[in-house]
Amino acid sequence: MMSRSGVLKKAYDSVALVALLNVLGLTALVAVLINSGALTREKVAGVLRIVRGEAVAVEQPEATPDGAAGAAKSPEKAAAADDVSQDDVEVLRLEAERIKTELDQRLALNNSIMLRVMTEREAFRKEQEAAAKRQAAMASKRDEAGFKRQIAIYDGLPPKLAVQHLLDMNDPDQAARILAELKTSQAKKIVQSAKRGDQVKKMEDILQRVRDVSPVQAGKITSEGN
User: Using one digit for the tens of pLDDT, what is the confidence trace for 135-158?
Assistant: 888 888 888 888 889 899 999 999
For the beta carbon of residue 151, count every other beta carbon within 10 angstroms. 18
Predicted confidence (pLDDT) per residue in 115-127, tens digit: 888 888 898 899 8
Phi-psi region at 67: left, alpha or beta (left = phi > 0; alpha = psi -120 to 50): left
Whether the per-residue pLDDT at 25 is higher than 80: the answer is no
- Across residues 5-34, what is the average pLDDT? 54
Residue 203 has what pLDDT?
92
Predicted confidence (pLDDT) per residue in 160-218, tens digit: 999 999 999 999 999 999 999 999 999 999 999 998 888 899 999 999 999 998 888 88
Whether the per-residue pLDDT at 101 is higher than 80: the answer is yes
3-class DSSP string for the chain: CCCHHHHHHHHHHHHHHHHHHHHHHHHHHHHHHHHHCCCCHHHHHHHHHHHCCCCCCCCCCCECCCCCECCCCCHHHHHHHHHHHHHHHHHHHHHHHHHHHHHHHHHHHHHHHHHHHHHHHHHHHHHHHHHHHHHHHHHHHHHHHHHHHHHHHHHHCCHHHHHHHHHCCCCHHHHHHHHHHCCHHHHHHHHHCCCCHHHHHHHHHHHHHHHHHCHHHHHHHHCCCC
Residue 209 to residue 224: CA distance in whole angstroms:
20
How many percent of the chain have pLDDT more than 90?
23
Sketch the domain layout of the chain as residue ranges. Answer: 4-59+73-138, 157-222
Q: 77 forms bridges with which residues in the sheet?
A: none
Whole-prediction pTM value?
0.43
